[in-house]
């Protein structure tokens, strides 16, 4: 299958999802290596970047199939069940010392979503250290974080800039400490 037809297939699936008619199964063509860019660049980003709650369950069901395709002994239904279990908000008791906020990966999503979460975490947990896990770039985009300090990777480079730091021994994102 050519990348053009994978792109067309991914666009068709995205249109079906947006219309409320997601497929029961992810097409095998998008799970093969040539389909990867279309799967992520069109379908995954198309669902996730809209920040619409109605698309979350569709994304979870479809992406569970993708994960099960590449990971041994993984059942898509068990992944969906886990997603449904962990996504429910639960009350927090006590005062944490440290709160981690995960990057949404893209700069636009970090500005639109993650910066709001950082501010909310600081408001809800005023005595906690708020740790942003992701690239340092958000610190220059948000007035609240502009003067923040960032942690460097062991190799001296910016943490997780353009993937894993060059020369890093493990694929670990080094958190960026956000201070107000």
* Domain map (residue ranges) of the chain: 3-86, 98-178
Strand residues in the chain grouped as ranges (E): 98-102, 129-133, 176-178
List pLDDT tens digits, range 42-63: 998 899 888 788 898 999 999 8
Nearest to 113 by CA among 64, 69, 160, 53: 53
List pLDDT tens digits, range 61-106: 998 998 888 888 999 999 999 999 998 888 888 899 998 887 766 6
Cα gap 160→72, rounded to integer Å: 27
The confidence score (pLDDT) of residue 146 equals 38
SS (H, E, C) 65-94: HHHHHHCCCCCHHHHHHHHHHHCCCCCCCC
Nearest to 69 by CA among 119, 115, 28: 28
- Cβ atoms of 38 and 30 closer than 8 Å: yes
Q: Is this structure's pTM higher than 0.75?
A: no
The confidence score (pLDDT) of residue 117 equals 84
């Amino acid at each position: 299958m050519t990348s053009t037809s994978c792109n067309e297939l991914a666009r068709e699936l995205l249109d079906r999802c947006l219309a409320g008619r997601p497929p029961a199964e992810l097409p095998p063509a998008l799970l093969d290596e040539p389909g990867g860019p279309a799967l992520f660049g069109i379908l995954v980003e198309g669902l996730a970047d809209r920040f619409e709650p109605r698309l979350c369950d569709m994304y979870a069901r479809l992406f569970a199939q993708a994960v099960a395709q590449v990971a041994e002994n993984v059942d898509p239904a068990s992944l969906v069940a886990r997603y449904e279990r962990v996504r429910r908000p639960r009350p927090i008791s006590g005062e944490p010392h440290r709160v981690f906020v995960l990057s949404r990966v893209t700069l636009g999503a970090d500005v639109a979503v993650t910066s709001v979460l950082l501010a909310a975490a600081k408001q809800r947990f005023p005595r906690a250290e708020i740790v942003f896990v992701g690239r340092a770039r958000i610190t220059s985009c948000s007035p609240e974080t502009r003067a923040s300090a960032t942690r460097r990777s062991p190799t001296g480079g910016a943490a997780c800039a353009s993937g894993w730091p060059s020369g890093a021994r493990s694929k670990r994102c080094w958190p960026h400490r956000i201070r107000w």
